[in-house]
Amino acid sequence: MKHFNVKTLLVFMAGLFISSQTFATDGYFSVGYGTINKGLAGAGIAFYQGSLINGNPAGNVFLGSKYQLGVNFFNPNRQYTVTGNPSGMEGTFGLMPGTIESDSKLFLMPSAGANWMISDNSSISAALFGNGGMNTDYPTATFYDPTSETTGVNLAQLFGNITYSTKLGEKHSIGVTAVLAYQYFEAKGLTAFGAFSSNPSALSGNGTDSGLGYGFKIGYLGQVADNFTIGLTYQSKVFMSEFDDYAGLFAEQGDFDIPSSWTAGFAWEFVDDFTVMADVKQIMFGDIKSIGNPMSNLNNAMMGDATSMLGGDNGAGFGWDNIMVYKIGFNYAGVDTWEFRAGLSIGDNPISESEVMFNILAPGVIENQVALGLSKEVGRSGNQFHLALNYAMNTSVEGANPLDPPSGQTIEIEMNQFELELGFSF
């Protein structure tokens, strides 16, 4: 009853991913994965119903045999505002004043997953999804690059997860996931920073470069009291091959590993059919030098420390901090063939006021997100249509231009995002 050509589907999905653009909400990670989880604003590490697409690997064994498809339509709105004229003094790098909005505002991102029971107590699953990313496409030479009329970056990350999940008795389970990743990146409009780069020819305008990588994820799910379940996951750093074409931009000669993260939470069905869940998640952006190293490392480069130049072993990066994200979600399944969801996600902003200059390229400043979702049984038993709506509330960060202190010039980066996701499981 549930047979189709999996290989053909995966090839088709991969093609869609490669042609898709990127978005950011929990830093540059997605707020949630899969339509059910999206409708909870990413909450539900202890709610196995949303585990198939990059959820808790321990939850998959409770799903039974299941396939799930989804498509996400998203509208990220990014802009920066420069206030104050450049000083024009020698050795400074002032920007032209004004507000510039990023182009490329409508995108599509698919996801797919399948879970197969290999015994009464264990399962194998596969999932394909976008982890997140960052994209800007400003219709101006923001940093005075004479070779490009536009400025921006495009980072996309595709994950392929293979998971084994097994029960430990009736109320507990564990899962382990092999994480395979593909990412691609392009930068344009940055050649004016060539004097700060250890390899100016590998700084900007070299088209799209790509890399492969691997990591792992482990999870636990356990019912520790009546109608009360806890969940825990840890995902390792994903070790990626370097972006050789951008070895003069990213620290450690083009290194751009994907940071580790952990999540803990509970799900409590405190009345029939009504479940409340809460999660806490930490993402270690600051542990990846190309993401976490501060722009102030360029000061060391100007003092003669070659390792602090762009692309160097301690090269300047985006200055992102590790972040904590707190999520709460609600699921009500007491209306015949319907389920209704809502969620709220509140997180740290990874970007401080001192890091606004480079983060014109990657304004991942979102802190608060709200979500609504629903599911409807359709056709034969087990088939469900899913819908999720998400809004990432407008957030901004303003700070001084560190490369033109005499001017008193300020830079404000700003972002919000709307999402609509449709899904089907059977």
Quickly tell me which residue has 């997860």 as its tokens: 161
CB-count exposure of residue 320 (10 Å: 0-12, 13-18, 19+) = buried
Structure tokens at 201: 């020819």
pLDDT of residue 226: 95
Q: What is the pLDDT of residue 1?
A: 42
The whole model's pTM is what? 0.94
Report the pLDDT value the prediction gives residue 133, as an integer from 0 to 100: 81
Residue whose tokens read 């008795």: 169
Going from N- to C-terminal start, the domains of the chain cover 6-425
pLDDT value of position 193:
96
pLDDT along the chain (426 residues), means of 10: 49 54 78 97 97 97 97 96 96 96 92 98 97 91 96 96 97 98 98 96 98 98 98 99 98 98 98 98 98 95 93 97 98 96 98 97 96 94 94 98 94 97 97
The pLDDT value recorded for residue 5 is 53
Q: What is the DSSP string of 74-94?
A: EEEEEEEEEES-----TT---
d(C-alpha 408, C-alpha 16), whole Å: 45
pLDDT at 4: 47
Q: Determine contact, residues 272/243, Cβ cutoff 8 Å.
A: no
C-alpha to C-alpha distances, 366 to 51, 102, 286, 293, 397, nearest whole angstrom = 24, 16, 17, 20, 10
Q: How far apart are CA 281 and CA 55, in angstroms?
A: 12
If you search the block for the tokens 């088709």, which residue do you land on? 12
Domain 6-425 has CATH 2.40.160.60: yes
- Give residues with Cβ within 8 angstroms of 390, minimum separation 6: 25, 31, 32, 38, 41, 369, 370, 371, 417, 418, 419, 421
Torsion of CA 259, 127, 165, 39, to 10 degrees: 80
Of 55, 235, 34, 123, the residue nearest 47 (C-alpha): 55
